Chain A
């Protein structure tokens, strides 16, 4: 089953994402900021990254840039978690190499639908 990395500095959001995905049978790797995610991504290939944008240490945009610079993550789908008001963040994320976005607030069903689309 596909392996998904959930990156968010908010433990509740991370748990929610992770619980939902695990419930749907995905394997989940959690990270609480960009740096941790970047480190973990290099330790084992994941098939999809879902990342928050605003995080301490390394933010989501930098994480995307750094991941895209890795040969293993050149084409890996990366989804950003954004809020409806952050239109500029979307384009910034796209420029950095994000595949798409999931707009907060979202519920578990919406999350799974989006992920099914990406992972097929």
Chain B
């Protein structure tokens, strides 16, 4: 029977990656001084499982590598080796290496074994090092491997010799341990196997059989004397007894050859207490085995609880793991929807005006059902943010070692749920922010002590829900943002001019400008030119925002605001010409009728509008999209002030319509990317409405004006940031 093992590969990869994750987080938890046996067991099990299955599925590179890992872990587990910080470091590196190897295997790429070979070398150094016990155990296992290999060889040799082997008569004496039956071993099975090898003659030795009253039916008192005519060699015969040989007396010799009298004598001695056998007819030993009594175990079975259900494991890139609870609530809601539908259906067949109230009630019910259903469906896409947070303990640990800083990472709100797509895209910006906090934010232990702070710095990652948004905070208790340095740098880079008066908030906001890094040295960790501007842009692409609050000397808090989902948007419907557009509600600051006195025409063809003490550029939507507006007069239009990053712009529209939740349909999937448009949706009356991409729009308007005037607007750059 041949089975295609590759069908199990996907599951193997998933569980192995999961195992590696467990190993990593457990390794990070380990306290070398005070070893927790469950933690080390957990790591061992993960390595052991990966080794076992990778060898079964033929991933020998992985199996070989995990073997040394396992050996070391086993010694630690048995207490014969003290785990050191260096070991943990090495094990963590191995986890990374295994991750790499498995990823390569999964995508069917050749595996690079260079790193694993180096690591194996290092493990062997440790294993063969100072501790003799370790070396012994290693060589023992190596020997075991060798032996297996040898036995395989011998077996294959034996197999090949079958055809030309002569028939030999083997004499086999088998006296099993009295407890043989208690291990579920069955002498009949062995006879059957032997019979397959050739002609078998069996005689029972009844010397040990006690009197009937003294006979315990669960024990095996018999021994056997067998003659086997076979072409097979001794090895094959020994294999039959493989599981019982240690506890039994077994002699296999060529019949008629030289008897080993000494051994026989020994056997006889051990049978000293043997009584002369009573004449009992024993046909087969199986009859000696009396079926044991069965007390009421079945009753217990009913109480026994089922083990945890295995949820189907699925590949992350293409599928999603959903809790049964969520599915159940969905099924429930669909049920309600069906009820409402049938109610409305019935109403429709015999409708007259007197039932109008019922109809309205039914429609309200339908709306209610639909909304709940929608929310439930959306919830399926939600995953706890711990999926993203889980990578940070390791990262912080590695970086703090690298930077020579003492850092404690606190995570909270890990169960906060977030749309899967948002989650995937927020990972990199978060990594960047945490790296920054570690590198620029937190001081060295010496500096901290000098500043009268505890030696160990703290970074807190906190996630929570707030008014339909997800908020993620990255808080450090480091040196905070240095206003002077930021200003100096900003002036140096020409982001602002020297005379500009900026509030503290505005100064802090400067770090999100392109090309900004205040670290005195460009370090390994951050300051590679991928600045905070990229972080902000990434977050804005998710319809979110980021801001920073910092107190010099006390630390900084970065707050990221993200929408719960990317699939649905609260939108403001606006009218321009005869088109309806949608502006994401989150980006709208306010809408107003402009006072013409507050509008100024700036040189270069751009209008600005004074909103309290701010000057805001005006974007004419009809100009951008080539629409014919109801009126080109600003005084007859409305302004919708939207915020992009920290900059505001005012969009000119003909009319404000209602607000509603819209389901976003992708332009790229259905048509192609259109500048200034982030997607489309279908309105209640069936018309298609385009959703404005405010960030894009601002950029576009700036470009248009630039090209029109050949002038560079100083502020256009700032808006886009």
Residues of A within 8 A of B (CB): 9-13, 15-16, 19-20, 23-24, 30-33, 35-37, 39-40, 42-44, 52, 54-56, 68, 70-72, 74-78, 81, 83-85, 87, 91, 94, 97-101, 103-109, 112, 117-118, 120
Contacts and interface: CB of A to CB of B under 8 A. Distances in A.
A104 B52 contact: yes
B310 A97 contact: no
Given A12-B12, A72-B294, A101 B307 contact: no
B182 A75 contact: yes
B144 A100 contact: no
A91 B185 CA distance: 15
B144 A87 contact: yes
B289 interface: yes
16 contacts: A9-B49, A10-B49, A10-B52, A11-B11, A12-B8, A13-B52, A16-B5, A20-B1, A37-B307, A40-B307, A43-B301, A54-B45, A71-B294, A77-B184, A84-B141, A84-B145
B45 A56 contact: yes
A34 B301 CA distance: 15
B618 to A, nearest CB: 60
Nearest to A106: B56
Contacts, number: 153
B25 interface: no
A97 B56 contact: no
A9 B45 contact: yes
B5 A24 contact: no
Contacts of A23: 1, 3
Contact of A105 (B14, B56, B300): B56
A75 B217 CA distance: 12
B183 A39 contact: no
A85 B55 CA distance: 13
Interface string B277-300: 000000000000100111101001
Given A16-B5, A99-B185, A39 B52 contact: no
Most chain A C-beta atoms within 10 Å of own C-beta, residue among B56, B148, B305, B310: B56
Interface centre among A13, A15, A77, A85 (most CB of B within 10 A): A85
B398 to A, nearest CB: 27
Interface in B164-194: 181-186, 189, 192-193
Nearest to A81: B52
A12 B297 contact: no
Contacts of B218: 74
A80 to B, nearest CB: 10
A20 B3 contact: yes
A77 B242 CA distance: 15
B9 to A, nearest CB: 8
A85 B8 contact: no
Contacts of B11: 11-12, 15
A24 B1 contact: yes
Contacts of A54: 44-45, 48-49
B15 A10 contact: yes
Contacts of B192: 120
Contacts of A35: 307
Contact of A11 (B1, B306, B313): B313
Chain B CB count within 10 A is highest, among A37, A42, A109, for A42
Given A12-B53, A44-B301, A97-B183, 9 more contacts: A12-B9, A39-B306, A40-B306, A77-B185, A83-B52, A87-B144, A99-B183, A107-B5, A112-B1
Interface string B95-117: 00000000000000000000000
Q: Which of B8, B55, B70, B189 lies at the interface centre, i.e. has the most chain A CB atoms within 10 A of its CB?
A: B8
A63 B457 CA distance: 46
B52 A105 contact: yes
B692 to A, nearest CB: 47
A99 B304 contact: no
Contact of A99 (B7, B9, B243): B243
Interface in B102-159: 140-141, 144-145, 148
A85 B71 contact: yes
A70 B145 contact: no
Contacts of B183: 94, 97-99
B63 A105 contact: yes
Nearest to B293: A71
A56 B56 contact: no
B620 interface: no
Contacts of A74: 182, 218, 292
